[in-house]
Amino acid sequence: MTLEVVTIPNENLRKRSLEVDLDFVHDEENQKFFEAMIKTMYEDDGIGLAAPQVGKNIRVCVIGKDALKQDKNNTLAIEDLVLINPTWQKINKKTQVDLEGCLSVPKTYGKVKRYKNVYVEALDRHGEKMEFEANNFFARVVQHEVDHLNGVLFIDKASGIYEVE
């Protein structure tokens, strides 16, 4: 089952999402929801997807394994990630500007400045605490998806925004 990706100007994309508890995480229907998010992300050619993008304002996002593969310092297994109630902190002041797009802002791209190295804390899809360092593209994806959970879109931070047909 795939989910419908909502696009701007849907007001849910601008709301801060609510944290979820362990009962939510362990619920069988919600486990199916996590799988549906991953399937939707791939079917729409995304590298990440946040719950608000599929109409649920909860602090859950998924990140595709290809983002992890690009981080040569990655210590996680190379598999799709489900991050529940994720937070991140910069590790240092190094930043990088790169082009971003978003499934909820179709056919639009812009340059966004993001931290190159972040430390992430979250629960995994089973409710177990996880902590890891994300670097470069992987760090960018984490920051982009957590922005969604805070009601922030990449276009709020981007310069040189342009549309394609």
pLDDT tens per residue, range 37-65: 999 999 999 999 999 999 999 999 999 99
Q: Which of 29, 145, 163, 165 is catalytic?
A: 145
Q: Is residue 15 part of a domain?
A: yes
What is the total count of domains within the chain?
1
Asked if residue 2 is part of any domain, the answer here is no
DSSP alpha helix (H) spans, the chain: 22-26, 28-43, 65-69, 136-149
Query: Is residue 1 included in any domain, yes or no?
Result: no
Tens digits of residue pLDDT in 79-113: 999 999 999 999 999 999 999 999 999 999 999 99
Told to judge if 133 belongs to the known catalytic residues of this protein, a careful annotator would answer no
User: Domain span at residue 139?
Assistant: 11-163
Distance CA 6, CA 61 (A): 15
Report residue 71 as tokens.
Answer: 């981080």
Two structure tokens written together for 155: 């276009």
pTM recorded for the entire structure: 0.94
CATH of the domain at 57: 3.90.45.10
Residue 136, domain member (yes or no):
yes
